[in-house]
Amino acid sequence: MTATTAHAPAPTRPSPAREFLAAVVTIMVKELRSRMRGRRAFVVLTVYLGLLAFIAYAMYLVVSPLARDAAVGGFDQPGFQQANVSSLIGMAIFSVLSILQVVLVSVIAPAFTAGQISLEREKQTFDLLVTTPLRPGAIVIGKLATALAFVVLMILAAIPISAIVLMYGGAEVVDIVRQQLVLLATAIGFGSVGIFASALMKRTQAATVVTYCAVIGAILGSAMLFSFWQTVARADDPLGLQPNGGAPEQIRFVNPMVAMLDVVAHVEPAGGTQLTRPLYQLFGADLSAFPQPDAPLGRDEPAPAPVLDTRAAGYWWPRVSLSLIGVAALLTVGAMRLVVPAQGGWRSRRRPTTPSGATIEDQEP
Amino acid sequence: MTPIVETRGLVKRYDDDLAVAGIDLLVGPGEIYGLVGPNGAGKTTTMRILATLLAPTAGEAYVTGIPVIADPNEVRRRIGYMPDFYGVYDDLRVWEYLDFFARCYGVPANRRGPMIGELLEIVDLGTKRDAYVESLSRGMRQRLCLAHTLVHDPALLILDEPASGLDPRARVEMREILRELRGMGKTILVSSHILPELGEMCTGVAIIDHGRVLRSGTIAEIERSLRASALLRIELLGDATDRDRATEWLGNEPAVADVLPVELDEPPAIRLDVSFDGPADAQADLLRRMIESGHRVVGFSQATTDLEEIFLKVTGQDVEDPAA
């Protein structure tokens, strides 16, 4: 038996890297042709931007009288007063848009990826795809990239809305850059959770459930776990010798809400405002407890209790963003391994099959 | 010359189920080779192994001399695979669908356009180039799927039940296309649970059941190997009682393997299909003794074994209704 045949492959095969890139582009072109066609993509984008713009405007309506009240009497000079009112409005809009966007991206990014692989299985196009020479890695990366491209488009398209705050003051360009980086990391991290679940589970429905459980776990679960751990740990450490009583802060590294509150806290007074205080209570009061001028919006409220174990502002968001991207890399590699056709893969032995070798789902009409 | 398909002792086991129990195949260049067998015989498993989708439990498989297990990626470049159940990307246009697969195989951009046109002509979808895949009929989708197997000009086509679920006209069209592809020098491995569907066009056939090759060779060879046992078609006058009496009488004959009463609409009202192991003089003897025992025989002939019967005989079980 020789390997030489009359049907030799194309004489010049491009380098593996070029081939991989071409394969990713192949998947992306196909995905974009089906995804971006028709109104669906544009409706989603329009609704997203419309919602953000509406919330921003509503915030303006709600906050501006409050801010004016708060600022009156603080300064005698009209110019100062004006500037201060304006920056309070800007701050409020920035906080709300940031938090709303991190929630929306956490919901939308997995929705775009959770069906990517399982739908190929459900629609029985998977076998056709994996009998091509496309590498499983290229399939996963191409699909993830297309899904994320659309989410990134949404995030970037919303920049002008966040940028409104630059007119009011209260947040600076650097704050918007941080906000964007956290949003992108969130999209990449949670998007890859979706694609991993999609490769792992046979059904899109199951993949979606698993994905959202993971997302809720990362946001709410990690916050509650950390808080619980902290409470228990502090009981053993009454003198406060260790930060957070020794609870591992890495628990928070998968939580984009922690990252976003860290970004938001930078523009807000210590303890947050009436709007953000409940979130700090839920996700960790220490996120906001660093020296800031008094909070005009929160002036009527009792001053927050001093919080120990405070990290400096800007401690959390880069760490969370990087670890989300790290998680994304791990999950993407995992998804690639799951997409390998049965050839030597462990999944082949687990697939329920009929004697004819067709999988059970193949047998369905 | 290197065979296009070669398997040696191919085994696939699922837990306690032996789906493929040692299959040896040898398919030369330019052949249309049929795998025939009832549902669950192991045809699909064999094809999925050759298509690099399943790893065999034991045995070896080669496509154009390349080991399927050790070098699946090279094999993928040489095969076009059409599964028995598959989906299409509904939301793509017909040309985009083929363009996608052409890109998957790294067909250069300048060759994709003309090639898609040619392929659509071959499968008779030339007018549907810009239609959405969603809008195609079942037969058209089947042909589109067939076209997708050709984008990289593979040496071997593996077609799992390409005619299943098609109406008679679409079946004929599919058969014509396969002939045309054979004319283009493609080697085709095709499966069906209906032998006659393949009989006319296959250069070779392997009849598979319970994961084993029961017979293989050309249809004529298989037919010859079965000649020892003839199918006698005996027609009688009479009613159900006569039929039962004749059936019982024939059942006691040592050379008769099996008696199958066949319902007929009009007289002579009884027909019995009888499997008979014996030469022509034994047949004459049987006829003489039948008449002597008082059976009113009006017809006694040896049926020309058609493919359906070969299939029945070899697999020893009922063939499903071809229309199903």
ipTM of the complex: 0.74
pLDDT confidence bin for A358, thresholds 50/70/90:
very low
**Residue A343's pLDDT is what?**
46
pLDDT surpassing 50 at residue A363: no
Residues of chain A contacting residue B89, judged by C-beta atoms under 8 Å apart: 30, 34, 123, 125
List helix spans (H) across A169-221. 173-200, 204-216
DSSP state of A27: H
Interval A163-185 mean pLDDT: 91
Q: Does B44 touch chain A (CB under 8 A)?
A: yes
* Secondary element (H or E) of residue B35: strand B32-36
Kindly list the residues from chain A whose CB atom is less than 8 angstroms away from the CB atom of residue B66: 3, 5
Nearest to B140 by CA among B152, B127, B150, B151: B127
Averaged pLDDT score across all residues of chain A:
79
For residue A235, being part of any structural domain is answered with: yes
Is A249 among the domain residues? yes
What does each C-alpha distance from A328 to A23, A99, A187, A254, B314 come to in angstroms? 20, 21, 10, 11, 56
Provide the whole-model pTM.
0.75
Interchain contact, A9 vs B105, CB within 8 Å: no
8 A C-beta contact, residue B150 and residue B82: no
Domain B5-219, architecture per CATH: 3-Layer(aba) Sandwich (3.40)
Domain presence at residue A10: no
- Band of pLDDT at residue A214, cut at 50, 70 and 90: very high
Question: pLDDT-based confidence at A83, cuts 50/70/90?
Answer: low
**pLDDT of B91:** 86
Residues within 8 A of B (CB atoms), A 132-151 only: 132-134
The tally of domains found in chain A comes to 1
Higher pLDDT among residues B194 and A315, named by residue: A315
Confidence of residue A40 (pLDDT cuts 50, 70, 90): confident
pLDDT of residue A159: 92
Token digits of residue A22: 């071409």
* pLDDT score at B226: 65
What are the residue ranges spanned by the domains of chain B?
5-219, 227-304
Residues in chain A with CB shorter than 8 Å from the CB of B42 are 355-357
User: Six-digit token pair at A216?
Assistant: 């809720």
Distance (Å, rounded) from C-alpha A283 to C-alpha A263? 13
**By residue range, what is the domain housing residue A92?**
19-342
A7 touches chain B (CB under 8 A): yes
B2 and chain A in contact, CB less than 8 A: yes
d(CA B103, CA B148): 11
- Fold for B227-304, please state it: Alpha-Beta Plaits (3.30.70)
Partners of residue B52 in chain A, C-beta under 8 Å: 131, 341, 343
Question: Can you list the residues of chain B whose pLDDT is less than 70?
Answer: 195-196, 199, 223-229, 265-268, 304-310, 313-324
Given this model, what pLDDT does residue A145 score?
92
Give the span between the Cα atoms of B160 and A303, in whole angstroms. Answer: 74
**DSSP-assigned letters across all residues of B272-312:** EEEEEES-HHHHHHHHHHHHHTT--EEEEEEPPP-HHHHHH
Q: Could you tell me where the DSSP H helices lie in chain A?
A: 16-35, 40-71, 78-113, 118-122, 126-130, 136-157, 159-168, 173-200, 204-216, 222-235, 256-267, 277-283, 316-339, 347-350, 360-363
Query: Do A187 and A109 touch, CB atoms closer than 8 A?
Result: yes
Nearest CA in chain A to B85: A362
Residue A101 lies in a domain: yes
Q: Answer yes or no: is A274 within a domain.
A: yes
pLDDT of residue A205: 93
CA distances from A252 to A266, A290, B258, B297 (A): 18, 18, 77, 93
pLDDT at A355 over 50: no
**What's residue A81's pLDDT?**
52
**Strand partners of residue B192:** B36
How far apart CA A353 and CA A90 sit, in angstroms, is 60
- B88 touching chain A per CB within 8 A: yes
| More confident site: A288 or B29 | B29
Alpha carbon A38 to chain centroid, angstroms: 26
Query: Residue B27 has what pLDDT?
Result: 92
Q: Mean pLDDT across the stretch A148-174?
A: 90
Write down the pLDDT at residue A365.
33
Assess contact for B119 and B150: CB atoms under 8 A: yes
